[in-house]
Chain A
Amino acid sequence: MDATTFLVQCLNAVQYGLLLFLVASGLTLIFGIMGVINLAHGSFYMIGAYLAFALAPYFVGQFLPMLLAGTLLAALFGFVLEWVFFSFLYRREHLQQVLMTYALILVFEESRSLLLGNDVHGVQPPAWLAGSIALGELMSYPVYRLFASAACLVVAALLYLVVHRTRLGMMVRAGASNREMVRGLGIDVRLLYRGVFAAGVALAALAGMIAAPMSSVYPGMGGSVLIVSFVIVVIGGIGSITGALIASLLVGVVDTFGKVFFPALSGIGIYLLMAVVLVWRPEGLMRRGH
């Protein structure tokens, strides 16, 4: 493998990892704070990709406003969803919520099929991001992928600032480490839950929208992302944003280079990674004694 190929693969790994981080960060917060095992999280990624497809005709030449509009719509959707389907479940056993999220996957898939059909769609990247950058003599790298990485980095930085530097973030972190205590301190936990859920949905949908021009938009695209995100959450440690970031990049690297070096067994790589991490640290990389 020469230096240019290596560079391209590194860029791919980072880009894939950062995209996964957007999905996994929402998942880890919903896990950590609300204790909900959200099997429907992959569906929000799928919904985001279809949003990009559905909104594209209304936002010709305005890619960034479209991302913003889609994210806001998804956040609103998440807010209402938590209100209607989850707010009455917190006193019940966790498994009831698993059942609920599984049912929601079915409903989302069918709604998608009713509204937009079962065809595979493509979304064009905006004109100003359409080209490629030449790397060395033979290779080139699509500008849109660089944009995707940059966009994910910006969102990750924003998320970091909100979680670690604001009062709201303080409540979120406190909620992740000791839910009962937060409630005891008089913080409106119901509203906090609703907000966290909405943010998680918005992040996953944003990831889907960013991914849409790179991969095609197709039914069932949420399933694979969901499982990989679970792996990331477990490797990183539940409730830890930093852990999710490290784990996402690790998974991106292992998956990308696994496909290069061991194409026949590439699907197994990230699960092996998870097994190794858990044998070493059963609570994930960033989870301190609990």
Chain B
Amino acid sequence: MRAFRPLWLPLAVLLALALLPAVLSPYLVDLTVKILISAIFALSLQLLVGATGLVSLGHAAFLGIGAYVAVLASPQGEGASLWWLLPAAMAGAAAYALFVGALSLRTRGVYFIMVTLAFAQMAYFVFHDTRLGGGSDGIYLYVRPVLRLGDTPLLDLEDKRQVYGLVVASLAFTWGLLALLLRSRFGHALQGIRVNEARMRAVGFRTYGYKLAAFVIAGALAGLAGALLAIQDGVVNPELLSWHESGAVLLMIILGGLGPLRGAIVGAVAFTLLKELFASEGLVGPLAAHWQMTLGLTIIAFVALLPRGIVGLRLPLRRATA
């Protein structure tokens, strides 16, 4: 019983998401896509921070590399095939994650935070200072990729609603993969490492390998989010890899709640909506020009009042009913 209880909620959410574009305006469809991509990105980081206890402040590097690979690997003038474009973006991000993880997992705690940050900055400067990806101006994706089975086109990503479908499917894939992973022996080992790494090593786990595997998987999933972002926006620039992005995604999962997968999604929704709300002139009037102030003060209020994130809010209720 218990094992199946949490399943109905994600499925209901997924169904609702799939039906949403029918009732939303194009602006809201775009906003929802933005939120869902953030959710994939935040989920990938939750595997590191929430499950394994590895706080990375350089996760945007993998998002950016995924996005750049998606654009650079697309041929000029015709749409790339999605069958290999998404895996290529994930592989590119995973390759850099393997390099970064192998070095940075030698350190721990605050050092790990700073080392991941520094490697992300390194990637940022590679794209910012060299002509590889158009320098600081970024690079455009002129023709969006296509999905064909034989000669039959399945998806036309010039159509925003179909991008939406692709993003929902990717979110479902990411959620499903992570949920399965966390229930597997591998996932339990990761959670053991978070609680007490020395003990895990003492009972015979090679914790370095487990952490590295988690780091690479998280990097690959962030690369997926990056590729989707490139397809959605049609443009990629180095700011995707900047530490502001790494900070923002970390904020999302802290805001939502560390640990449970739904914390990442709730956080991504809350953070993106708050930002959009405070910056939209129609809703908050002249305050919109000062969104940084309102967003900053709101986050401070969240920190002061919600020590366990938004999903922590439900805890007292559940205890009362249990």
Contact = CB atoms under 8 A, between A and B. Distances in A.
Contact of B293 (A111, A234, A265): A111
Given A102-B251, A275-B119, A278-B107, A227 B296 contact: no
A271 B106 contact: no
A230 interface: yes
Contacts of A88: 304
Given A102-B247, A264-B129, A231 B118 contact: yes
- Bin chain A's interface residue count: 35 or more
Contact of A107 (B114, B292, B304): B292
A99 B299 contact: yes
A259 B68 CA distance: 26
Interface string A194-237: 00000000000000000000000000000100010011011000
Contacts of B49: 95
Interface stretch (A50-58, A139-147, A279-287): A279-287
What does DSSP make chain B's interface, helix, strand, loop or mixed? helix
What does DSSP make chain A's interface, helix, strand, loop or mixed? helix
Contacts of A113: 290, 292
Interface string B125-142: 110111000000000000
B122 A85 contact: no
A185 interface: no
Contacts of B122: 268, 271-272, 275
A253 interface: no
Contacts of B149: none
A109 interface: yes
B91 interface: no
A100 B303 contact: yes
A230 B121 CA distance: 12
B125 to A, nearest CB: 3
Contacts of A265: 125, 129-130
Given A89-B303, A100-B300, A267 B125 contact: yes
Contacts of A111: 293
Interface in A64-123: 85, 88-89, 92-93, 95-96, 98-100, 102-107, 109-111, 113-114
Contacts of A223: 243-244
Given A100-B300, A231-B114, A271 B121 contact: yes
A29 interface: no
A238 B111 contact: yes
A110 B292 contact: yes
A238 B244 CA distance: 23
Interface string B40-75: 000000000100000100000000000000000000
Contact of A95 (B55, B302, B304): B55
A274 B293 contact: no
A230 B115 CA distance: 9
B115 A274 contact: yes
A20 interface: no
Given A99-B251, A234-B111, A107 B129 contact: no
Nearest to A267: B125
B89 interface: no
Contacts of B9: none
A266 interface: yes
A282 to B, nearest CB: 5
B117 interface: yes
Interface in B298-316: 299-300, 302-304, 307
B293 A283 contact: no
B273 interface: no
A230 B125 contact: no
Nearest to A231: B118
B220 interface: no
A46 interface: no
Contact of B296 (A31, A106, A234, A283): A106
Given A227-B121, A274-B115, A103 B103 contact: no
A93 B299 CA distance: 16
Nearest to B299: A103
A282 B115 CA distance: 10
A40 to B, nearest CB: 10
A85 B299 CA distance: 12
Nearest to B302: A99
B130 A107 contact: no
Contacts of A274: 115, 118
B264 to A, nearest CB: 14
Given A96-B307, A103-B303, A110-B293, 18 more contacts: A31-B110, A37-B110, A99-B254, A100-B299, A102-B299, A106-B293, A107-B296, A109-B292, A110-B296, A234-B111, A266-B129, A268-B125, A271-B122, A275-B118, A275-B122, A278-B115, A282-B107, A284-B111
Interface of A: 31, 37, 39, 85, 88-89, 92-93, 95-96, 98-100, 102-107, 109-111, 113-114, 223, 227, 230-231, 233-234, 238, 264-268, 271-272, 274-275, 278-279, 282-284
Listed from nearest, the 10 A-B pairs whose CB atoms lie closest are: A267-B125, A106-B296, A103-B299, A110-B293, A107-B296, A110-B292, A271-B122, A106-B292, A234-B114, A103-B296
25 contacts: A92-B307, A93-B258, A95-B49, A95-B55, A95-B258, A96-B254, A98-B250, A98-B254, A99-B255, A104-B300, A106-B296, A110-B292, A113-B290, A230-B117, A231-B114, A231-B118, A265-B125, A266-B129, A267-B121, A267-B124, A268-B125, A275-B103, A275-B115, A278-B103, A278-B115
